[in-house]
Amino acid sequence: MRDLFMDEFAVSLLVQELGLIIYQFTQQNLPACKPVLSPVWVVQIVYRYDVECVPALYRSNKLAYIKDNSIPKNCSKSLKIRWLPLELKICFQLVFMRDAHGFLANSKLMKAPIYIYYQLDNYYQNHRRYVKSRSDRQLLHGLKHHDLSSCAPEDFNHGLPVVPCGLIAWSLFNDTYSFFRGIDEMKVNRKNIAWKSDRDHKFGKQVYPFNFQNGTLSGGAHLDPKIPLSDQEDLIVWMRTSALPTFRKLYGRIEEDLDADDIITVKLLNNYNTYSFTGSKKLVLSTSSWLGGHNNFLGMACISVGVSFIFVAFVFMLIHVKNPRPYGDTTNLSWNWKPMSG
Amino acid sequence: MGIGSMSPIPMLSRDSSVCSQSVIQQYLIVMKIQGRSHMKLNHQMRLPLLLQPGSSALNSSKEHKQVYVKELDPVSGKFIERSYKLLNVLEFNSSRKRMSVIVRDEEGKLLLLSKGADSVMFERLAKNGREYEEETREHVHEYADAGLRTLILAYRELSEEEYKAFNEKFSEAKNSVSADREALIDDVTEEIEQDLILLGATAVEDKLQQGVPECIDKLAQAGIKIWVLTGDKMETAINIGYACSLLRQGMKQITITLDAPEIIALEKMGEKNAIAKASKQSVLRQITEGKNQVATSSTEAFALIIDGKSLAYALDDDVKKLFLELAIGCASVICCRSSPKQKALVTRLVKEGTKKTTLAIGDGANDVGMLQEADIGIGISGVEGMQAVMSSDIAIAQFRFLERLLLVHGHWCYRRISSMICYFFYKNVTFGFTVFLYEAHASFSGQPAYNDWFLSLYNVFFTSLPVIAMGVFDQDVSARFCLKFPLLYQEGVQNVLFRWRRIIGWMLNGVCSAVIIFFFCIQALNLQGFNKDGKIAEYQILGATMYTCVVWVVNCQMALAISYFTLIQHIFIWGGIALWYLFLLAYGAMPQSISTTAYKVFVESLAPTPSFYIVTIFVVISALVPYFVYKAIQMRFFPMYHGIIQWIRYEGWSDDPEYCNMVRQRSIRPTTVGYTARSLARTNPLDGIQNHR
């Protein structure tokens, strides 16, 4: 009896609900997602610092400056976040995106997270000899792996194996940046900048740097021998070699929003020697959208390819209307261009 | 159709009242003994009066030496079976031009039965055996004129002693192992084959196989020039020419023979050098005259008919160029009475003189030389034995299949192979050029753009099957249209699909695709963050993305280029692309030591990132634009012949006869042979005024 009642109750509920749906349907009032296509700003600041960070005294001989360990490499620069400043380049990208909040809902100019990249130009990280100069097995197994032939000449030092061995690790980028808004230092998150698979499967959790940068010639950064390789994310990012000679690498993230007209002071250590090969160093701050960072190319190329399509179609249409070709017109057959032999 | 022609003659053996029966009887005996091996299958003999149609004239005998003939006794009106014991067979050869058998009939009489060409048989008749000679000669001439093959039959009774003497000599000659064995046998047989009594003549029609005229007509429309090289007599050959529309009334025939009276007179005198000199001069004069004729008239169609004797001189080194020029000027060429070697020589002359592709088709052992000499030799498997088939490149069962072989399969194969090769170039240029461009960005250090396994498997898995499917299945135009518009075959003859322009065009297309893929990829991916997490597209991601684009572009290009889409094509093309993603997944899931740079690249980096897909779509579309525009322009403004036909089919005009004629009209030129041309010539008053026969 009770079951029956329950059933009836359920049925009546169902009818009620159905009625509601039908009502909504007939009134064209069904719940719906209401996408609005609105552009997303991707803001990017690129700042080239390798020239300004050399004291005027050494401008004529940058190489001597960067090689001299006795000179402090500290350098302080200020970036102004604002619309199209003259000294800085702020670029933006128009990207169409479903955004329920409507057009430019974010009043902040640079919305967290803001990614910090360093960019190297004319740096052939994709050179075959350079790319080869590593030992994946050593990175994973550490000292247990002995065959370091691929790492030469950075394989052994003072008769002991180098961990991580090879030229890539040896030339690890070692400029550092810290950011200040006013006098407050902004927090830069340097975790989670490498791919997870690299951290978990390519760099050993039990492998610690050993005998690293102990040679007479130091290529770049030193590593803390107490931290296992899997946590040395700078190294992991660096070891994933770039595709092209101009490349950026992720340095960290600023997890605060930046407003227009904020002035950010960057304190940087200009350690890395790009002067020997006339490379350049740039610091890049960029936000990211679902399409990644700022890139005009894709949008422009899409538009130009589309425009060329329309143009070709238009020309075809014109020719078709003005000068239709009769059916079966064989005058253009290739063998009618010249008299047929035989 | 076959006509068994009976001269009103003879009297063989006991039964003088049965006249022509004996002829047949004898003919059948000889045929039977020979196993008909030298006769064409299509000799359909109707034996009027004597044998009921369909009744088996020959009962096969298990015992080889005994021949049974079932014949109709005209007196009693019943069939009687008679048996003959076969004693000797004097084999046929081309110098003897006859064949004889010696049999013993039921009454113990010895008979020599002989059949052969008229030229050798008439001179062997006995004085008393020439009763019907005049009549028979007339008949033979008549039959030959009607395109029939003639044989003279004669017999002779042998006495026991005569036979015994002959048999001894004959077996001695047969058993000799000296080099002149043949000559010995010939001498012995020559002796016995004398004083024959003429029985009459038979004539058998060389029935054309089914569909031969239609086939020749289509081939002629396709712009193929047809030469007939036959061993038949001139009259027969001309007749066959008419039957298959190679000749028509109104065609001017240039006949080159050595039947001029002065040469015959010289032959009688038997001076070899003088004959050769006179003959050569005569041939040369006739050829020059013919050439002048051809040169002066541009509207008329000419036919060249040359016999074997003249051909021997025409093929001399100093004459053959002239001869070839004359032959090229003629719509059809018939070489009759030609030996196997001459057939081969003519084929070589055409092949080397014109630098064109030659095809020889034949069914007999005497066609072997020609089949081997020609670029393409096609053997017809039939009754004539297997020699032709065994020495041919392609064997077909009937002549008319040549039409489909050339016009349909020939066209398709040409197109398939040329497209396949071009496409192979294209896809490897596209792939290789992206690697090269990357190399230029890696300071030419030899660092490949892609993972090693990507490089290796490109031609094996991801792009090979569609090409193979194209090379096997593609059809630009269906078989029906290939046959309907034979001129389509000219695409192969003119080599429009595999000329350098097209090959280089495809390569340029490949370069163009590669440049678009490479630069669009690096411009779209390099420097800025790749995904929402701000990660960068480095070596592994760029390589995998670019490779994805290459696989897509190359396969989609195939989809654009192909004109015959079946399920197989769909499976191969889209399957090839799907296979790439599957491979990337599987390969990336392997341990890092195996997959190296591809480790988890799809699962972790590419698959969750929208820009990967957007870049892929964009690059694929952009890379295909040049070809697409080119193809649209070509189809619209400069269509190739198959394009026009595709268009017709698409617009549904294919059954409109007027319209089809318009498209087809280009294929009928005044010199074309075939019955279409003949009917056209009939309606066209300009042609066909003169009749040379």
User: Which of A20-34, A247-261, B50-64 shows the lowest per-residue confidence on average (mean pLDDT)?
Assistant: B50-64
Q: Which of B445, B610, B647 sits opposite A127 (nearest CB)?
A: B445
Q: Which of A129, A288, A328 sits opposite B445 (nearest CB)?
A: A129
pLDDT band at B496 (very low <50, low <70, confident <90, very high): confident
Where helices occur in chain A by DSSP H, the ranges are 2-26, 62-67, 128-132, 136-141, 167-170, 196-197, 233-239, 296-322, 334-337
**pLDDT (average), residues A168-175:** 91
Interacting residues of B435 by C-beta distance below 8 A, sequence separation 6+: B448, B449, B450, B455
- Provide the pLDDT for residue B652: 76
Give A294's contacts in chain B (Cβ within 8 Å). 528
The residue count of chain A comes to 342
- B494–A334 CB contact, under 8 Å: yes
Closest C-alpha to B673, from B330, B231, B232: B330
Mean pLDDT, all residues of chain B: 80
For residues B150 and B142, is the Cβ–Cβ distance under 8 A? Answer: no
User: Which of A74-83, A108-117, B305-314, B502-511 shows the lowest per-residue confidence on average (mean pLDDT)?
Assistant: A74-83
pLDDT band at B116 (very low <50, low <70, confident <90, very high): confident
Q: Which helix (H) or strand (E) holds B155?
A: strand B148-158
Distance from CA of B558 to the nearest CA of A (A): 21
For residues B37 and B364, is the Cβ–Cβ distance under 8 A? Answer: no
Does residue B545 have a pLDDT over 90?
yes
- Provide the pLDDT for residue B324: 92
Give the tens place of pLDDT for each residue, A39-52. Answer: 667 778 888 888 88
> Residue B682 corresponds to which tokens in the numbers above?
């009939």
pLDDT band at B687 (very low <50, low <70, confident <90, very high): very low
The phi-psi region of residue B356 (left if phi > 0; otherwise alpha if psi is between -120 and 50; otherwise beta) is beta
Give A325's contacts in chain B (Cβ within 8 Å). 636-637
- Provide the pLDDT for residue B71: 63
> Residue B364 corresponds to which tokens in the numbers above?
């007999």
Chain A's closest residue to B599, CA to CA, is A197
Binding residues of B for Mg(2+): 363, 367
- A330–B609 CB contact, under 8 Å: no
Most confident range (mean pLDDT) of B47-56, B218-227, B297-306, B349-358 is: B349-358
A202, with CB counted inside 10 A (0-12, 13-18, 19+), is buried
- Provide the pLDDT for residue A328: 55
Give A147's contacts in chain B (Cβ within 8 Å). none
**pLDDT (average), residues B188-195:** 85
Chain A's closest residue to B522, CA to CA, is A244
**pLDDT (average), residues B7-34:** 42
Does residue B663 have a pLDDT over 80?
no
Chain B's closest residue to A125, CA to CA, is B442
Does the model's ipTM exceed the 0.90 cut?
Answer: no
Amino acid residing at B202 = T
**pLDDT (average), residues B494-503:** 89
Give the tens place of pLDDT for each residue, A229-250. Answer: 999 999 999 999 999 999 999 9
Rounded Cα gap, residues A79 and A179, in angstroms? 10
pLDDT band at A326 (very low <50, low <70, confident <90, very high): low
- A245–B441 CB contact, under 8 Å: yes
Give the tens place of pLDDT for each residue, B550-563. Answer: 999 999 999 988 88
| Of A80 and A26, more confident | A26
pLDDT band at A84 (very low <50, low <70, confident <90, very high): very low
**Mutation site for A-interface testing, chosen from B444, B445, B451, B528 by largest number of A Cβ within 10 Å:** B528
Rounded Cα gap, residues B486 and B667, in angstroms? 8
Rounded Cα gap, residues A142 and A163, in angstroms? 7
**pLDDT (average), residues A311-339:** 70
Does residue A94 have a pLDDT over 50?
no
Chain B's closest residue to A304, CA to CA, is B622
User: Which of A65-69, B604-608, B625-629 shows the lowest per-residue confidence on average (mean pLDDT)?
Assistant: A65-69
Per cent of chain A over pLDDT 90 is 20
| Of A92 and B185, more confident | B185
**pLDDT (average), residues B396-424:** 91
Give the tens place of pLDDT for each residue, B244-287. Answer: 878 877 788 888 888 777 777 777 676 778 888 888 888 899 99
Rounded Cα gap, residues B423 and B415, in angstroms? 12
Rounded Cα gap, residues A169 and A163, in angstroms? 9
Give B496's contacts in chain A (Cβ within 8 Å). 334-335
Tell me which residue has tokens 């004797």: B309
For residues B373 and B389, is the Cβ–Cβ distance under 8 A? Answer: no
Does residue A307 have a pLDDT over 90?
yes
Per cent of chain B over pLDDT 70 is 81
Binding residues of B for ATP: 92, 115, 149, 230-232, 337, 343, 366-367
Q: Which of B225, B445, B621 sits opposite A305 (nearest CB)?
A: B621
Q: How many CB pairs under 8 A join A and B?
A: 180
Q: Which residues pair with A292 in a beta bridge?
A: A289
Q: What is the DSSP string of B432-454?
A: HHHHHHHHHHTTTS---SS-HHH
Most confident range (mean pLDDT) of A3-17, A94-108, B11-25, B376-390 is: B376-390
Does residue B599 have a pLDDT over 70?
yes
For residues B625 and A308, is the Cβ–Cβ distance under 8 A? Answer: yes
